Amino acid sequence: MKTMTARLGFARPSTLAAALAILLACGSWSLAQTPKLAQQLLAAQQTHPDILAAEAKVRLAEAELEQVRFKVAQEIIAFQSELQTQREEVYRLSELFKAQEVDHGDLVQAKAKLAALEAKMPYLLGQQTPGIPRTGNPAKLGPGPKPLRGKVAEAVCTAIAKPTQMAFIDTPIGGIAEALTDHYKIAFIVDKNDPLIEPDMTVTIHLQGLPLGAAFQALEDTYPPLHFVIREYGILITSKNSAVARQGVSAVEYWRENLLTDDSKKVKPRP
């Protein structure tokens, strides 16, 4: 083997290894020892246009991989900076709210923006893949829940991905359901069979420029036990421990896993 290698002259290790592998694959060691054939195979490995084109594709793919790695690293660094800034903002507003120097709506909106950022983290780190493309197509949920079908489901999935405005002051939960039904043309129904959802429960919230899914998240965070569940007829307002909630699809989870986009980071300033 050493003698044959010397006869072949200088060659890249990978090219030489490929040529030797082809020779050995012939099944005849006497044929593999033929210097002329070995030289021809080596020359083809070095100059054949198909091989050169394939090598160029590999180099291009490696360069693209490095670019993607650099891009992802930049995104993670920028994301962590933005996340830390928003956490500090939530803390600052929490302290001001305790001192009664800011409105409750300001704090809720800051928390909702923070939640939207935190929801993006698994995708950015490659730890979670959306169940469907982030186009708002409701054809399929992630693994587990059944697919949502029908015009109502399509309307629900479209609505929870779009920016919204909410301005309620001491409004009964039933009044909020009526207002949302009228605005989105989707049935928002309060679960009257859930003892945890009291009819006289009132809500105060002021949000602007966030997706409806993030608004639901803010309501669930600040007014437990509120829980929004997607049903074939619309959205049911119930509690997390209700039988319907255990069987249905959480509107917040669906929004986070399937519809959350970069636009969720953009919050319009309040006038």
Q: What pLDDT, on a 0 to 100 scale, did the predictor assign at position 5?
A: 43
**Other C-beta atoms lying within 10 Å of the C-beta of residue 36:** 8
233-239-243-249 Cα dihedral, nearest 10 degrees: 50
Rounded to the nearest angstrom, the gap between the alpha carbon of residue 16 and the centroid of all alpha carbons in its chain is: 45
Residue of 92, 125, 123 whose CA lies nearest to 107: 92
68-211-130-89 Cα dihedral, nearest 10 degrees: 60
Across-strand partners of 163?
Answer: 211
Positions in the chain short of pLDDT 50: 1-11, 129-147, 262-271
Q: What pLDDT, on a 0 to 100 scale, did the predictor assign at position 108?
A: 73
Q: What pLDDT, on a 0 to 100 scale, did the predictor assign at position 2?
A: 44
What is residue 238's three-state secondary structure?
A: strand
Residue 151: CA count within 13 A, CB half-sphere: 3
State the Cα–Cα distance between residues 139 and 153, nearest whole angstrom.
9
Supply the CATH classification number for the domain 103-271: 3.55.50.30
Q: Looking at the chain, which residues constitute the CATH 3.55.50.30 domain(s)?
A: 103-271
Q: What pLDDT, on a 0 to 100 scale, did the predictor assign at position 14?
A: 59
**ω into residue 271 within 30 of 0, thus cis?**
no
Q: What is the pTM of this model?
A: 0.47
Q: 163-172 and 249-250 as β-strands: parallel, antiparallel, unpaired?
A: unpaired
